[in-house]
Structure formats: structure tokens, C-alpha cells
Amino acid sequence: MFFGCTLYAEAQEVYIEPLKEFTINQKVYLFGNDVKLRKEPNTNSEVVSLLKIASEVIIIEKSHLKQLYNGYMHNWYKVKYKNEEGFILGGLLALDSKKINDSVYLASLKKENEDTYASIRVVNGHNEYIENSSKLKTTTFSIKVYNNKGIDSIKNMIYVDYLAEACGVEGGGYYLFNNETALVKVIELSSISEAGLFWFKENIVFPSDVGGKKDKIIIKREAGEMIDEESNHTKVTIETKEFSWEGKQLAFYTK
């Protein structure tokens, strides 16, 4: 039950937002593939080396020079890769990364007209990658990775978590399933509250979660409203539905 609107971030959680800048000595993974490490901060400069996706570089300095890429103006950065140094455009660097077993997830942003998209790539133990690009409800998000949570037909999963920046702003997020050939967008969850006057939230329970069921994905939706503040009388409705995963989409489960 909600009696207010609380906005918080988990300890050390990285929120991804437009125009995020990298810091000196920061270790960053490449989001781009076959990225040209250049001698100077421009696309006409000599190529020092060609770097693969998920290669780790260290930020040495930030150039004042910028270039448009995927809808945003990005700084060039001087970086170190093993024993080589050169410049890479910031838009080719992952804004955040997460590892789970031999999978490396990389996150970036792109803008098309007035819409913002989260670009998520995963490298599964080799230099080939799969990608999903989905439109965001907010311009700020974080990523969390999990094992397959009891869904045997997938390798692992990632949750793109929206940051609701104020009361009355819709939050939530969506899951992507990694089946090693595609990142499949499974379901988008929603949550919103307004200072205890009303609230709506959706949660998902996977087979290996507490309360989970074998081969079932449970989606719980809770909606509530304050009827009388003086007596603290609220009205709450809870809906639960069960689904199964059929390889490409959720299927409603009927007994």
C-alpha cells in the first residue's frame, strides 16, 4: 500500500541518461564494433587500430571537439587500449555494462526525432553480438541482468528499469530475453503513484522466484486509490495472470 511517492536509486546503481560524460581513468567497454581508434579526434584522422565490441578501454582525456552520432552531440575521448592510445567518439562507448557468466551486456541511447531509444547489445562469449532497440517512456534508465530464472529455453535476461523522475510520472520497465540468437522484448511493466491518492504497479514472478511456478510466468497488477484520508480507507484491486513462454512471445495460460 502506498501513502506517498518515494523516488530512490539502489546503492551504486548507474542511471543512463543523454549527454552522460565519461571521467578520467574510467574503464569503459566499447558499444560499437570494429571501432576505429584514431590518432586525432576526427573521422579523417589516421587509424591506429580496429577494436572489437566489448573491448575495454581506459579514458585518458576528454576532447572539446564534438560530433553528431545517433541524434546526440558526443565528445571525442582519448583512450588507452592495451599498449595503444588514440581517440574514440563517445557515442561508440557503452554508457553502462553488466556481465553475467560469459554474457556481456552493453547499453547506449539514440534519438530519432523526439523519441528516445535504449539500445542494448549482448556479446555471448564471442565477438558476435545481438541487439534490441526499444522506445523509452523516459530518457533515464538503468539495467539489471539475471540468469534465466527457471526458463530453460533462454540463456539469461536483462531488465531495462525506467526512472520515474517525479510523482505522477510513469515508471516501470521491460524485460529482454537472451536466447543467443535474439534479444526478445517480452513484456513492458508499468508503475505510477500520486502522493498516496492513487497507485498502479505491475510485478512479474518467474519460475525460480519465491512464489513462482514451474514453466509459468506470473504477472501481478495492483491498483489502488485513497477513498477517505481521515479514516485511511483505501480501495485495492489485485489481478493475477499466468503465462507460458513459447520461444518468441508470452502465451496466456488457461487451465
Q: Give domain 27-92's CATH superfamily.
A: SH3 Domains (2.30.30.40)
Measured at the CA of 170, the angle between CA 106 and CA 142, to 5 degrees, comes to 20
Q: Going by C-beta distance under 8 Å and a sequence separation of 6 or more, which residues neighbour residue 244?
A: 215, 216, 217, 250, 251, 253
User: Does the reported pTM lie above 0.75?
Assistant: yes
- The string of DSSP letters for 173-204 reads EEEEEE-SS-EEEEEEEEEEE-TTSEEEEEEE
Q: Which of 85, 58, 87 lies closest to 75 in space, CA to CA? A: 87
| Dihedrals phi, psi of 32, to nearest 5 degrees | -80, 165
Tens of pLDDT along the chain (255 residues)?
434 454 444 445 688 988 889 999 999 999 999 999 999 999 999 999 999 999 999 999 999 999 999 999 999 999 999 999 999 999 999 999 999 999 999 999 999 999 999 999 999 987 789 999 999 988 889 999 999 999 999 999 999 999 866 566 678 999 999 999 999 999 999 988 877 788 889 999 999 999 999 999 999 999 988 887 777 778 989 999 999 998 888 887 544
